[in-house]
Every structure is written in structure tokens, then in C-alpha cells.
């Protein structure tokens, strides 16, 4: 009898101890979560768009889509909105040809390099929260980062001089391509394989995925969370982006929307498919609209930091094309600016266009390779003074 009572007492104490430990863990998590900067959904209110305006724009965008996407076998997921009000949507083709699953408004598609806009947004939130500084040296954050002149800014604006990991891992003896590459592996290889810079830091623009793979590691180091969780907690969940996630090679390999070549051949994953920050976010046009509205709301960052996003940092060559902090831009001599970001990974192509002055959002995605995704910039003149011609091929 005494033995039974002792066992019950020990079990009770263990249960209470575990319960107390769980409460303690929850408390730490709650405290940490409260300190994590988060995006705020847009609360701006706009008058309802005039019916005649909506009808005219719907007709014009539909004509454009019918011209470039007349073949129903060409996969497309597109949304055009003004003031957050959806003017036009179109979903066609197959999310999964093998399973005969059509693309719908809830189908997450790999947004490829448009992921960089979201990674940059998380970094900017950390800067605003005084967790890091824009011009902070990366080697003060990431252990064993061997390039002393590279800063957060030069990663964001692609002026770091880093080599593209997709290329240097093909060099003889650098990486066994039968093994999946991870972000930390890239950082380790810098030092272990003495990977040299492609150019001196901040001397020229060179678009490079490695920059954003490193920014993802910065997010992890500063938040104490893995990138997937940090992006969910900072951006996806606060904005109600319920169909958006960061791809996990082990967890999502069988369920993620596959991609296809133009001839409908399914593309296989490879050793680069678990690197994130530069790519690997899956989303929908409706979720991306929520993101764009929040990013352009007055509550997003201080005006000083927000203005730095949309400044071109690469002016060594005269031209209209430039790059800000995680955003591409076209700057015309007239003073008009066009902000966007395109993406391409395997068969996935994407285009994110934000017409800030007109408060117009254009999101176009496809999981079957088609360069016509990038033609969506040509509908910008329907909404503002942009020197793109809709009728141009």
C-alpha cells in the first residue's frame, strides 16, 4: 500500500513538474513573441470604386489576358486590384497535372525571387525594431562570415560582391551535389573553401541569390527562430496570409504545387531546393494583395526607413533600371518610377507589381514556365502615366 502511494506521489510530482516546465516555456515563448516585430494589416479605407471604372478596367485587363494567355493549357494565377478592391482575377490550368487538380484562388504557387521582397520586409521590420542596423556589418551577426565590408544594406541592394551559391557549388571539390544544400552550408563553405568575392563590396550591382540566403540566416540569428517560423510569425499570420508558407524540403516535398516546363514535363527538385530567403515561398495572389496593402500602408515603418526602400543604389551606369532594398525599379527621366519584382525558379514564374501612386496591385504567378508573366507590366498604363505600351510584343 505504501509502495502504491509512493508511486502515485512521484507520478504527481513529475506531472506537476512537467506542467510547470510547460508553463515556463509558454511564458518565455509569449515574452519572445511580444518582442518580435510584426506587420500590421492595412486599415486604410477607400471609397468603393465606380462601377463604370471597374467595368472598363476589367474589360481592358481581360483583353490583355486573352491575348497573352488564350491557351487554357497555360497555367495562370493573376489578380489586379485598386485600393485593395479586386478588379480582375483569373485562374486557369492545372496545379497538379498528374492528379488533375486545377489552379484556384487558394492554390499556393512558388513565387520564386518575389520571395526576396518578403525577406527584405522581415529585415526592415528588424531594423525598425532596433534589433539590427541597416549599415551593420554582417560579420557582427553571423559567426565566421569572412567578408568584413559586407553590410545588411549591401545584401539587400545586391552590392555585396558575393558569388552566387548556385554557381560556386558546381566548382570541383566545393560541394557534393547529391546532398541537399542548406543556408548554413553556404555560410560554412565561404570559410572552408575560401570562396572569393566576385567583385569588391559596394563597387557594382550584381543580382545574386546568395545575398538573400544570408539575410535569411540573419533573420534566424536575430529572432532565435528558423526562417520558416519567423516569416510566419512576423508576416504571414499577422496579415492573414493563410495560404502562404516557406517550403520545407522534408515536410512539403509531396504536397507542394509542382512546376512544369512549357511542354508540360514535370520538373524534379534538386540539391538547391532547400535554400530559402532568395526563393522558396509559396503564396497566392490574394495573400500577396494583403501583403502589398500592408507594405504600402502609412503604418509600415517610419517614413525615413520606408523611403530608403525605394531609392536606387546602383548608379555607376546611366539607365532607367535600378534596385532598391529588395525591390526592382524603373526610373524615367520624367521622374516617374515603376516598382516591381519578378521571379523564376524551375518552371515557376512570377511578377509582383506595386503602383504606389495609383494604389494598384498586380500579382501574376504560374507553375508552368511562360515568360508572358513578365508582360503584365504592360497593363500599368491602364492605371497611370507609365511609358509601357500594352500593344507592344
Considering the domain boundaries, does residue 282 fall inside one? yes
Contact 181, 165 (CB under 8 A): yes
Q: What is the pLDDT of residue 318?
A: 85
Q: What is the pLDDT of residue 15?
A: 46
User: Is it the case that residue 18 has pLDDT exceeding 50?
Assistant: no
Q: What is the pLDDT of residue 335?
A: 86
Instruction: Report the 10 Å Cβ neighbour count for 82.
Output: 18
Considering the domain boundaries, does residue 25 fall inside one? no
User: Is it the case that residue 7 has pLDDT exceeding 50?
Assistant: no
- Under the phi-then-psi rule, with left for phi > 0, alpha for psi from -120 to 50, and beta for the rest, what region is 207? beta
Considering the domain boundaries, does residue 389 fall inside one? no
DSSP state at residue 377: G
What angle, 0 to 180 degrees and rounded to 10, lies between the N-to-C axes of helices 285-295 and 115-128?
Answer: 30
User: Is it the case that residue 164 has pLDDT exceeding 60?
Assistant: yes
- The count of structural domains within the chain is 1
Considering the domain boundaries, does residue 11 fall inside one? no
Q: Which domain holds residue 130?
A: 51-382
pLDDT tens digits, one per residue of 63-114: 999 999 999 999 999 999 999 999 999 999 999 988 999 999 999 999 999 9
pLDDT tens digits, one per residue of 136-161: 999 999 999 999 999 999 999 999 99
Q: What is the mean pLDDT of residues 18-32?
A: 44
pLDDT band at 51 (very low <50, low <70, confident <90, very high): very high
Considering the domain boundaries, does residue 137 fall inside one? yes
**Any bridge partners for residue 89, and if so which?**
79
pLDDT band at 131 (very low <50, low <70, confident <90, very high): very high
Considering the domain boundaries, does residue 27 fall inside one? no
Q: What is the pLDDT of residue 137?
A: 98
CATH code for the domain in which residue 166 is found: 3.40.710.10
Q: 363, 287, 357: which is closest to 88 by C-alpha?
A: 363
What H or E segment, with its residue span, contains residue 323?
A: strand 321-323
Helix/strand/coil for 4: helix
pLDDT tens digits, one per residue of 255-294: 999 999 999 999 999 999 999 999 999 999 999 999 999 9
Rounded Cα gap, residues 355 and 279, in angstroms: 23
Instruction: Report the 10 Å Cβ neighbour count for 191.
Output: 12
Q: What is the pLDDT of residue 322?
A: 96
Considering the domain boundaries, does residue 146 fall inside one? yes
Q: What is the pLDDT of residue 28?
A: 42
Q: What is the pLDDT of residue 390?
A: 53
In 3-state terms, the chain is what percent helix, strand and coil (to 5)?
A: 40, 15, 45
Q: What is the pLDDT of residue 12?
A: 47
pTM to 2 decimals?
Answer: 0.91
Considering the domain boundaries, does residue 21 fall inside one? no
Amino acid at each position: 500500500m505504501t509502495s502504491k502511494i509512493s508511486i502515485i506521489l512521484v507520478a504527481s510530482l513529475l506531472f506537476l513538474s512537467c506542467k510547470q516546465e510547460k508553463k515556463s516555456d509558454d511564458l518565455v515563448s509569449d515574452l519572445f513573441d511580444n518582442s518580435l516585430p510584426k506587420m500590421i494589416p492595412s486599415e486604410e479605407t477607400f471609397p468603393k470604386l465606380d462601377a463604370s471604372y471597374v467595368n472598363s478596367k476589367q474589360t481592358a485587363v481581360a483583353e490583355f489576358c486573352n491575348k497573352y494567355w488564350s491557351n487554357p493549357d497555360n497555367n495562370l494565377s493573376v489578380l489586379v486590384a485598386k485600393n485593395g478592391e479586386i478588379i480582375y482575377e483569373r485562374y486557369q490550368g492545372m496545379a497538379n497535372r498528374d492528379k488533375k487538380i486545377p489552379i484556384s484562388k487558394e492554390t499556393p504557387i512558388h513565387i520564386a525571387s518575389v520571395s526576396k521582397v518578403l525577406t527584405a520586409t522581415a529585415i526592415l521590420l528588424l531594423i525598425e525594431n532596433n534589433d539590427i542596423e541597416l549599415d551593420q556589418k554582417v560579420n557582427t551577426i553571423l559567426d565566421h562570415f569572412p567578408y568584413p565590408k559586407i553590410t545588411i544594406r549591401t545584401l539587400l541592394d545586391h552590392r555585396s560582391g558575393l558569388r552566387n551559391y548556385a554557381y560556386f557549388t558546381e566548382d570541383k571539390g566545393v560541394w557534393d551535389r547529391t546532398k541537399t544544400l542548406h543556408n548554413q552550408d553556404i555560410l560554412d563553405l565561404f570559410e572552408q573553401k575560401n570562396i572569393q568575392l566576385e567583385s569588391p563590396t559596394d563597387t557594382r550591382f550584381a543580382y545574386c541569390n546568395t545575398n538573400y540566403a544570408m539575410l535569411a540566416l540573419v533573420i534566424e540569428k536575430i529572432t532565435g527562430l528558423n526562417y520558416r517560423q519567423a516569416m510566419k510569425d512576423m508576416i504571414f499570420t499577422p496579415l492573414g496570409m493563410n495560404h502562404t508558407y516557406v517550403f520545407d524540403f522534408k515536410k512539403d516535398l509531396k504536397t507542394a504545387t509542382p512546376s512544369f516546363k512549357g511542354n508540360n514535363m514535370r520538373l524534379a527538385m534538386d540539391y538547391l531546393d532547400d535554400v530559402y530567403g532568395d526563393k522558396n515561398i509559396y503564396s497566392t495572389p490574394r495573400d500577396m494583395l494583403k501583403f502589398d496593402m500592408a507594405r504600402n500602408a502609412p503604418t509600415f515603418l517610419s517614413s525615413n526607413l520606408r523611403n530608403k526602400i525605394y531609392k536606387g543604389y546602383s548608379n555607376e551606369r546611366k539607365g532607367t533600371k535600378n534596385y532598391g532594398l529588395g525591390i526592382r525599379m524603373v526610373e524615367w527621366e520624367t521622374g516617374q518610377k515603376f516598382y516591381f519584382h519578378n521571379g523564376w525558379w524551375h518552371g515557376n514564374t512570377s511578377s509582383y507589381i506595386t503602383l504606389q501612386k495609383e494604389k494598384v496591385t498586380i500579382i501574376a504567378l504560374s507553375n508552368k514556365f511562360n515568360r508572358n508573366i513578365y508582360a503584365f507590366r504592360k497593363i500599368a498604363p491602364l492605371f497611370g502615366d507609365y511609358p509601357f505600351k500594352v500593344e507592344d510584343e
